[in-house]
Amino acid sequence: MLTIKRTLMSSVVAGALLSATACGGGTSQEAATAQVQDAAKREPVEITFYRPNVGMTEEQFMDLMGNAIKEKFPYVTPKLIPYVNKTKTEEVISSGADLDIVILSLGFYPQFQNLNLSADLTEYIKKTNYDTSRLETTNFDFIKQFGNGKIESLPIFTTAEVLMYNKDIFDKFGVPYPTENMTWDDLYELAKQVSRSDAGVQYYGFLTSVSHMLNTNQLSLPFVDAKTMQPSINTEKFKQLAENFARFYNIPGAELPKEKYGKEADLFTKDKTLAMYAYFNSTMVGAAKDMNIDAVPLPTFKEAPGVGSQMYSTYASVYSNSKHKDVAFDILAYLTSDEMQEKFAKDGLGMSIVKGAKPLESFGLNLPQLQGKNIKAFYPPKPAPISPRTIYDDLSSKYAVTALREVAQKVSDANTAFRKAEEQAAKEIQAAKQQ
């Protein structure tokens, strides 16, 4: 099995998407009074949180989440075990800390859950009549699939790929902006129109973060077969993905130099020479402060019309050895409540994981830079199902990314690149199994 150290270093992190909130009303006066009286009777309890691979201070945690929890549950004192100096998960576990809730991004989810350290929440869901039908379908389906029917977490917020574009570049060249309902072929034709050299400056049409695009791919292709635990990247579908994105790196007259691979975000937000960039909406939140940009939904493949990227979500699990599982589950349920979901959305730091338009309509309301932007583009109307995940995904995915770049750089054809990638991934997975 992969070591935790290796996993922590290689897991893909979408970034800290937490947000502060205050509890809302919505209950009758009698119910509210009863709730206060019930809280007053509860014994004080300390609930400890841990989020692997995300640096966050105690103060930040309280601002982001802890204060809201304490207001909702006055008998709870939220506490964070900070991820400092790459704290190892095994060190936290072996320290005997009274851990209660673990917050996991999708990239880290398999490694922690495979340690069997998460409580099955099914009994708490039944006991509290928690309505799982409120949860976004692909997220809840993934939880059930990974847990073989057990529910070992709840999603608390999410993000997805979106197509952002720099209006100034399109205006400069008199080219119409990208629109909704485009296919990748449509985008390629548009990208060619804004891939130009002007006054000694090279402009590029479209680029993306290859690793993130593959990890949330619209065809729901897995990197590893969850049954055999063998890499599954040497397929026609993966080659199709590679060739689709590689062509954007080789538009005649605007071929991306090798030294700029991996620096696509800088070309968009710093150099401002990239017309269109696909990534999570966190880039939009930051870049919109000093750029004339907007967004449309991700283009789709002809064989999967209207299907957006997979959700890249953050989940919360109750630690299996928690002494306060009931309280911990109540907190998880609260994090998925309408008021918390709306506040996450208003701060623009996490898209809602509950069904319904209200949280989506609220996205970014507290952020001046997002006013007037096409916010609905951030949430794919039809997200791709989240592909099965394993603890070996990081080993296989890195070789898939390398293969795509080799195709884009014309170092190798797709057949050769992905055959070699799968062979290398298989060897590394086998070695990891023997550790």
- Relative orientation angle of helices 414-433 and 393-408, to the nearest 10 degrees: 160
Question: By the 8 A CB rule, do 164 and 277 touch?
Answer: yes
Q: Which pLDDT does position 356 carry in this prediction?
A: 74
User: What is the length of the chain?
Assistant: 435
Identical fold at 4-159+312-354 and 161-309+387-433? Answer: yes
| Mean pLDDT by groups of 10 residues along the chain of 435 residues | 36 33 38 48 89 79 87 96 70 79 90 85 97 96 93 95 97 97 97 96 97 96 96 97 97 95 96 97 82 96 94 95 96 94 82 79 85 90 94 95 96 96 98 90
CB 1 within 8 A of CB 435: yes
Q: What angle do CA 203, 209, 211 make, to 5 degrees?
A: 150
What is the model's pLDDT at position 38? Answer: 60
At 77, the amino acid letter reads T
Q: Which residues contact 241 (CB under 8 A, 6 or more apart)?
A: 214, 217, 219, 221, 404
> How far is the C-alpha of 431 from the C-alpha of 435, rounded, in Å?
7
Q: What is the pLDDT of residue 70?
A: 96
Under 8 Å between Cβ of 247 and 208: no
Matching CATH number, 4-159+312-354, of 3.40.190.10, 3.40.50.300, 3.40.50.620, 3.30.1050.10: 3.40.190.10
Give 3-state DSSP helix, strand, coil % of the chain, rounded to 5. 45, 15, 40
pTM (predicted TM-score): 0.86
Task: Give the pLDDT of residue 27.
Answer: 43
Burial class (CB in 10 A: 0-12, 13-18, 19+), 126: exposed
Query: Domain limits of the chain?
Result: 4-159+312-354, 161-309+387-433
- Burial of 325-348, coded b for 16+ CB within 10 Å and e otherwise, reads bebbbbbbbbbbbebbbbbbbbbb
Strands, E assignment, 126-272:
154-157, 161-166, 197-198, 201-202, 204-208
Q: Regarding the domain delimited by 161-309+387-433, which CATH topology (the fold level of the hierarchy) does it fall under?
A: D-Maltodextrin-Binding Protein; domain 2 (3.40.190)
For residue 108, the model assigns a pLDDT of 83
CA neighbor of 329 nearest in space, from 141, 119, 51: 119
Looking at 293-410, list the stretches that DSSP marks H as alpha helix, in order from N- to C-terminal side: 325-335, 338-346, 358-361, 393-408
Q: What angle do the packed helices 236-246 and 414-433 form, to 10 degrees?
A: 120
Residue 65: the pLDDT is: 83
